């Protein structure tokens, strides 16, 4: 009988000993709090993007394609003479034109686009005005150039980390802690929008027989931000 009681006591002691490490692991999660910090700045849209196009129609699809190609090749040759202008050929589509009953093809229509990009607003505005003698304005966009975006991201990242650490210290002091350690930290940027569209009507008024029209340019800025989301553990001793 004594032997049975002694074995039960040893078993109870053994079970209690196994549960102690689990309690120690749980203690690692005490005094953890989640924090969020956000910083932002105004960044100039320093990349100008202009979309020009030609659209023609003809009963002969082969002649139509040749005419559109001639117009676009002339514009490309003219644009290549200007420094610091990036050329990108946009979409080119051809589709049939039907009669009033919608049964018989009476002709063909074709549209081709030319996309111009530059950080030199003056040069691109001047070129655009010259090209408008043969092409039509599809739109004018403004975006943040890649080097500018990367530079602003780097600066905001440092500011976001500093802001997070400042909040972490405030939280630690409020809880009466001695110090803190960062458990995890995530940094995310946002606010780098798609190109800002300006309509084709934003040009100086001019008569049809006057000198080439120079589009108005007003790029503006975009507010960009960086958020720091994470968790800290406040150390009380």
Q: Is 115 helix (H, G, I), strand (E, B) or coil?
A: strand
pLDDT at 169: 96
In this prediction, residues 139-143 reach a mean pLDDT of 91
Question: φ and ψ at 48, to 5 degrees?
Answer: -100, 130
How confident is the model over 65-77, as pLDDT tens digits? 999 999 999 999 9
Give the closest residue to 189 by CA, choosing from 170, 161, 166.
161
How confident is the model over 142-176, as pLDDT tens digits? 999 999 999 999 999 999 999 999 999 999 999 99
Delimit the CATH 3.30.110 region(s) of the chain: 31-46+144-194+221-237
Per the model's pLDDT, the better-predicted residue between 78 and 193 turns out to be 78
Q: Find the range with the poorest average confidence among 114-118, 196-200, 201-205.
A: 201-205
Number of H helices, E strands in the chain: 4, 8
Per the model's pLDDT, the better-predicted residue between 23 and 37 turns out to be 37
pLDDT at 19: 43
In this prediction, residues 45-69 reach a mean pLDDT of 95
Delimit the CATH 3.30.70.2970 region(s) of the chain: 48-143
pLDDT exceeding 70 applies to what percent of the chain?
A: 76
CATH code reported for the domain at 48-143 = 3.30.70.2970
Average per-residue pLDDT in the chain?
82
- Helix extents (H) in the chain: 2-27, 61-80, 121-131, 146-174
Per the model's pLDDT, the better-predicted residue between 195 and 54 turns out to be 54
pLDDT at 5: 47
Is residue 114 within 8 A of residue 69, CB to CB? The reply is: no
Is residue 140 within 8 A of residue 198, CB to CB? The reply is: yes
pLDDT at 198: 53
In this predicted structure, the answer to whether residue 38 has a pLDDT above a threshold of 70 is yes
Angle at alpha carbon of residue 219, lines to 137 and 43, rounded to 5°: 145
Q: Find the range with the poorest average confidence among 30-44, 149-163, 192-206.
A: 192-206
What whole-number distance in Å separates Cα of residue 139 and Cα of residue 50? 6
Provide the angle, in degrees to the nearest 10, between the axes of the packed helices 61-80 and 121-131: 150
pLDDT at 30: 75
pLDDT at 102: 83
Torsion, CA 175, CA 177, CA 180, CA 183, rounded to 10: -50
CATH code reported for the domain at 31-46+144-194+221-237 = 3.30.110
Here the tokens at position 54 are: 């030609």
What whole-number distance in Å separates Cα of residue 86 and Cα of residue 215? 18
* pTM score, whole prediction: 0.68
What whole-number distance in Å separates Cα of residue 53 and Cα of residue 217? 19
DSSP letter (8 states) at residue 25: H
């Amino acid at each position: 009988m004594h032997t049975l009681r002694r074995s039960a006591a040893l078993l109870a002691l053994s079970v209690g000993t196994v549960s102690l490490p689990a309690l120690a692991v749980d203690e690692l999660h005490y005094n953890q709090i989640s924090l969020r910090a956000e910083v932002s700045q105004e960044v100039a849209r320093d990349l100008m993007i202009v979309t020009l196009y030609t659209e023609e129609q003809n009963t002969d699809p082969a002649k139509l394609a040749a005419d559109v190609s001639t117009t676009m090749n002339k514009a490309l040759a003219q644009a290549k003479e200007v420094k610091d202008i990036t050329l990108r050929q946009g979409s080119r589509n051809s589709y049939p034109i039907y009669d009033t009953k919608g049964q018989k093809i009476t002709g063909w229509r074709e549209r081709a686009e030319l996309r111009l990009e530059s950080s030199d607003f003056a040069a691109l505005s001047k070129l655009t005005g010259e090209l408008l003698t043969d092409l039509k304005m599809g739109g004018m966009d403004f975006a943040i150039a890649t080097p500018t975006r990367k530079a602003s991201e780097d600066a905001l990242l440092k500011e976001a980390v500093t802001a997070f650490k400042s909040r972490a210290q405030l939280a630690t002091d409020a809880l009466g802690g001695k110090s803190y350690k960062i458990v995890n930290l995530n940094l995310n940027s946002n606010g780098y929008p798609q190109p800002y569209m300006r309509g084709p009507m934003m040009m100086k008024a001019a008569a049809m027989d006057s000198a080439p029209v120079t589009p108005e340019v007003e790029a503006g800025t975009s507010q960009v931000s960086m958020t720091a989301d994470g968790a800290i553990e406040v150390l009380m001793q």
